[in-house]
Amino acid sequence: MAASPARRRLPDAVGDQPAPATAVTTDALALDRVIHERMRLAILSALAGRDAVAFAELKTLTGATDGNLSVHARRLEEAGYILCSKSFAGRVPRTEYRITVAGRRALHSYLDHLESLIRQVRDS
């Protein structure tokens, strides 16, 4: 009985050996993993164009839940990419976030890296 077309394995040009990693693949693996996560990229992007953003506004801008935003913001803070300041407005707690110089530099480097990958893929 013949194998169905969907199950047939097509040989590659080198035999059974996996294809060598290309420069694009290697470059893609070198992306900043702290920033590359969707929510963390959204947080940095929202902060990049503003002086400071309150927790509630950042939550709205990113579409995150309280817990999700807190976890990802803490990861960015641990990496030195953002600063978190807590204060009170009367009796109401207020949490604000700011992007750091290192965070802005890392975001720009990440975007440059992505643009380079896009050019490599389009030129291939």
Q: Which two tokens stand for residue 47?
A: 């902060």
Segment 79-89, tens digit of pLDDT: 999 999 999 98
For 36-63, b/e burial (b = at least 16 CB within 10 A) is eeebbbbbbebbeeeeebebeebbebbe
What is residue 93's predicted lDDT score, i.e. its pLDDT?
92
Give the pLDDT band of residue 22 (cuts 50, 70, 90). Answer: low
User: What would the mean pLDDT of 34-62 be, rounded to a whole number?
Assistant: 96
User: What would the mean pLDDT of 3-28 be, rounded to a whole number?
Assistant: 52
Give the pLDDT band of residue 7 (cuts 50, 70, 90). Answer: very low
Count the helices and strands in the chain (H runs, E runs).
Answer: 6, 3
Complete domains list, the chain, with CATH = 33-123 (1.10.10.10)
Place of tokens 């720009």: 108
Q: What angle do CA 120, 24, 46 make, to 5 degrees?
A: 80
What is residue 30's predicted lDDT score, i.e. its pLDDT?
84
User: What would the mean pLDDT of 27-48 be, rounded to a whole number?
Assistant: 93
Query: CA 41, CA 46: separation in Å to the nearest integer?
Result: 9
Average pLDDT, the chain: 85
For residue 65, pLDDT over 50 is answered with yes
